[in-house]
Amino acid sequence: MKISHNKILITGGASGIGFGMAQRFIQEGNTVIVCGRRETALQEAADKLPGLITKQADLQTEAGREELYTWIAKGHPDVNVLVNNAGIQQWMHVTDADFYQKAKDEMATNVEAPLHLTSLFLQLKSLNTILNVTSGLSFVPLIRTPVYSATKAFSHSFTLSLREMLRAKNIEVIEVIPPALNTDLGGKGLHGHAPPVSDFIEAIFAQLKEGKTELTFGFSQIASQAGQEILKPVFAKMNQLG
Identify whether the C-beta of residue 59 lies closer than 8 Å to the C-beta of residue 65.
Answer: yes
Supply the Cα-derived Rg of the chain in whole angstroms: 17
Active-site residue, 148 included: yes
Catalytic-role residue among 25, 69, 139, 148: 148
Q: Which is nearer to ligand NAP, 122 or 194 (CB)?
A: 194
> Whole-number minimum distance, CB 38 to ligand NAP, in Å?
3
Residues 6+ apart with CB under 8 A from 142: 148, 149, 238, 239
The rounded distance, in Å, linking the Cα atoms of 116 and 191 is 29
Nearer CB in complex with ligand NAP: 2/203: 203
CB of 194 to ligand NAP, least distance (A): 6
Interface positions with ligand NAP (CB under 6 A): 11-12, 14-18, 36-38, 41, 57-60, 85-89, 109, 133, 135, 178, 180-181, 183-185, 191, 194
Nearest approach, Cβ of residue 196 and ligand NAP (Å): 11
Closest to ligand NAP by CB, 9 vs 181, is: 181
Contact 211, 116 (CB under 8 A): no
H or E element, residue 39: helix 39-48
Active site residues: 148
